[in-house]
Structure 1
Amino acid sequence: MAKAQYEIGVLFSQSGPYGVVSRSMFNGAMLAFDEIRASSGYPFALSPVVADPVGSLAQYAHSSSDLLSKHGVHHVVGCYTSSSRKDVIPLFEKYDALLWYPSHYEGFESSSNVVYTGAAPNQHIIPLIEFLLANMGKRAYCIGSNYIWAWENNRILREALSAGGGTVMAERYFAVGDTDLSKTITAILEAKPDFIFNTLIGTSAYHFFRSFRAVCEESGIDQPAVMPVVSCSLSEPELGEIGTLAMDGHISSSVYFSSIDTPANQRFTSAYRKRWPSSSAASADAEASYVAVKMLAAAIAAADSDDVNAVRNALPSLSVDAPQGRVSIDGATNHAFLTPRIGKSSASGQFEVLWEANQPVRPDPYLVQTTPRYAMRSSAPKLRAVK
């Protein structure tokens, strides 16, 4: 008997200002499709239908419409930026399809037509803030790309620091892809913050890391020790883009680092290197895309159909043994239980894991349960040192 065939949309930009991250997401998704195709454990086949929006915000809506109407797909794994996600959600609601969104994001959103396999704010920015207040001081300088990801993360940081007795000294925003940052770098050196909170993405971020390190070295400043740059999005492929002269000493909050030392992650990173030998190391973005496809396949198997309602109903009872650890979906929010971690980049292009949660953390996209107006509470998830 022939297997059922289900077409699944794949929507990632493989070029443009954030193409490095999006290509890693594409790689993670395609690795999962390969493994499902090679496995005898699925009574169906998944066929990816690939669309490349080439980093153009307008193209995301056009490509989504094409996938949903012309190809008739019910599920699409894709989008990196929050701008692209927010642009396409009305289309998924119109066609009652599911967008599987595999990116950490700023939260304050929920849709019955989106499954979020990337980190919610209580799984990446709140643990980072706790770490900063405990280890790095209370004076922040914020620099970010001029869209909702940076605005909302900076708002959360501002309110949390204020509640903890700290302050945001300044916020500066730049268009995605902008690299004219010299005046802000000079202002940062004059302000002397305890840390710089970076929400720049893509080429803007890589240029900032290089330029800031170079200016600090010219001034005799040990930048990682004196004015560390901290992020909620910096990943392994991006360290290579920053370059060997400035890739080390940066703090990043994530639910996955490729250096996690577990059998499941060793299998994943080995398969990733074999499938994409010319690519850099696997990243949180690649892992979240991989998890999205694996979770979708598990839900289709449980529902015995790719029907959106049937898949949605199946999700809360499922979990996958992901490279980061056990991942499941919270039926109330369509967000994933994930394991927060804090890492420090090294000159080898990897992250040393400094802290991690004891177990997967329930998603709280609106920060309703995690904090009262973002003030840190004793009941917040505790982090433990990794020896």
Structure 2
Amino acid sequence: MANTDPIPVGVLFSTSGATATIERSQAFATFFAIAEINAAGGIAGRELVPVHYDPQGMPQQYQLLAERMIREDGVNVIFGCYMSSTRKAVIPVVEKWRKLLFYPTPYEGFEFSPHVIYTGAAPNQNSAQLADYMTRHFGARVYMIGCDYIYPYESNRIMSDFILEVPGGKKLAERYVPLTATEKDFLAVVRDIKAKSPDFVFSTVVGQATRLLYQAYAEIGMDAQHTPIASLTTSEAEVAEMGGGAAQGHITSAPYFQSIASTENQACIARFRQQYGNEIAPNMAWEAAYFQTHLFAEAMRAAGSDQYDALLPQLLGRAFDAPQGRIVIDAGNHHTRLHPRIARVNAAGQFEIIAGGGAAAVIPDPYLVTHPGASWNNLPYAAEYRVG
């Protein structure tokens, strides 16, 4: 007799706390993909059942809840985590119990766990392209601002290396604010930015603090057309929260934007909005959370099991036609071949893609072994692109 038992899967994204806006989009993208999988017959007739807890953005809670999912709820696979501090809290749990974490967030690289599938961008898929684009179009005198945790520190280190390779490259300042930063924190920062007059600002501010930075930047009179904030973390979710006025003219590097004009992407967004309305703004982290869930389902169908030893070989090297284009899980490092893009927020509050999006995916190089600037410049879509 065929096994018809439901398959529990962990969904470990915060719906409250400092990063709730972006993590809610990841959670709902996962629920959306699960609903599509179940509507298509599940996995060999078995229904996927999400087991969701709210860790409230606190690393210790991610760790405790991951353990609970595995020990009490029978979960073998967890889709989850946004901040690097939360991923690092969960990795020891999945390694101890021989389970698998799918991580759908751009991150700082320089990591490998055999128990993680990394579906967000590595530094050679967003930081390298952003450094190249910004220094060619705006200059190489940079002011860096981020939140006070692992990802901003490491991203600023990587960006500093890229900037200092450029003639005239200079880091004017490197500032950090709490995840719970207030308007007062950012007022001091933007005053310092204005005084130092950089060519651009590199931001790894995340969560609710993003809105405060961009609003303070506009209020002090900084011109985004001439001195934009360039970010790896500001997506449609944060733009929707802050309003298009504060975001207009600023730039983000990511593999996915909801403005991608392909029929496949626009159809996916339409299906999502039909089911969940307009409250959630599709974004880079939403898309990775969506495609990784489908990727898991395809691999489990092939493996016949969600047990780690059976599932992993079916994931490595597997391709999927995601909304951004065809992606592939790299068998050597568990990261994902992605399609880097650069986009700028227009007057309507939407990202207009101004560079990237070529048919060839960029192979993940989380340890930056090869020179990322050279690889970007040699790609067919890395010619000069218009700004604004």
| TM, length-normalised to structure 1 | 0.94
SS of residue paired to 1:8:
strand
Partner residue of 1:181 out of 186, 205, 208: 186
C-alpha separation in 2, matches of 1:243 and 1:157: 27
C-alpha separation in 2, matches of 1:60 and 1:195: 35
Indicate conservation of the 8 Å contact 1:370/1:380, yes or no. Answer: no
Aligned to 2:320: 320
C-alpha separation in 2, matches of 1:204 and 1:380: 36
Aligned to 2:158: 156
Aligned to 1:277: 277
1:170 maps onto 2:173 in alignment: yes
Residues 226, 317 of structure 1: alpha-carbon distance in 2 compared, 3 angstrom cutoff: closer
SS of residue paired to 2:82:
coil
1:285 is displaced (CA, Å) by: 0.8
Q: Deviations over 1:182-240 (max 9, x none)?
A: 11211110100000001111121110100111111xxxx5x112211000111112112
Indicate conservation of the 8 Å contact 1:269/1:281, yes or no. Answer: no
C-alpha separation in 1, matches of 2:28 and 2:42: 22
1:103 is displaced (CA, Å) by: 0.4
C-alpha separation in 1, matches of 2:347 and 2:40: 37
1:226 maps onto 2:226 in alignment: yes
C-alpha separation in 2, matches of 1:272 and 1:370: 38
Residues 131, 382 of structure 1: alpha-carbon distance in 2 compared, 3 angstrom cutoff: farther
Indicate conservation of the 8 Å contact 1:273/1:281, yes or no. Answer: no
SS of residue paired to 1:189:
helix
Aligned to 2:213: 208
1:5 is displaced (CA, Å) by: 2.5
1:96 is displaced (CA, Å) by: 0.6
Aligned to 2:149: 147
C-alpha RMSD over aligned residues: 1.7
Aligned to 2:381: 383
C-alpha separation in 2, matches of 1:73 and 1:38: 21
SS of residue paired to 1:3:
coil
Aligned to 1:191: 196
Seq. identity, %: 36
SS of residue paired to 2:225:
helix
Indicate conservation of the 8 Å contact 1:117/1:292, yes or no. Answer: yes
1:357 is displaced (CA, Å) by: 4.2
Q: Deviations over 1:278-318 (max 9, x none)?
A: 41431111110001101110110111111111111111242
Indicate conservation of the 8 Å contact 1:357/1:384, yes or no. Answer: no
Partner residue of 2:95 out of 85, 93, 96: 93
C-alpha separation in 2, matches of 1:340 and 1:378: 9
Aligned to 1:65: 67
Indicate conservation of the 8 Å contact 1:107/1:365, yes or no. Answer: yes
Residues 378, 186 of structure 1: alpha-carbon distance in 2 compared, 3 angstrom cutoff: closer
Residues 318, 202 of structure 1: alpha-carbon distance in 2 compared, 3 angstrom cutoff: same
1:245 is displaced (CA, Å) by: 2.9
C-alpha separation in 2, matches of 1:85 and 1:68: 16
C-alpha separation in 1, matches of 2:143 and 2:82: 25
Q: Deviations over 1:106-145 (max 9, x none)?
A: 1110100000111111111111111112111010000000
1:370 is displaced (CA, Å) by: 3.7
Residues 378, 344 of structure 1: alpha-carbon distance in 2 compared, 3 angstrom cutoff: closer
Moved more, 23-32 or 53-62: 53-62
SS of residue paired to 1:275:
helix
1:349 is displaced (CA, Å) by: 2.5
Indicate conservation of the 8 Å contact 1:357/1:381, yes or no. Answer: no
Moved more, 119-128 or 355-364: 355-364
Aligned to 1:346: 346
Aligned to 2:303: 303
Indicate conservation of the 8 Å contact 2:128/2:376, yes or no. Answer: no
1:377 is displaced (CA, Å) by: 5.9
Residues 313, 17 of structure 1: alpha-carbon distance in 2 compared, 3 angstrom cutoff: same
1:26 maps onto 2:27 in alignment: yes
Residues 92, 207 of structure 1: alpha-carbon distance in 2 compared, 3 angstrom cutoff: same
**Code of the aligned partner of 1:181:** F
Aligned to 1:365: 366
Indicate conservation of the 8 Å contact 1:361/1:381, yes or no. Answer: no
1:382 is displaced (CA, Å) by: 4.8
C-alpha separation in 2, matches of 1:326 and 1:261: 15
**Code of the aligned partner of 2:351:** F
SS of residue paired to 2:321:
strand
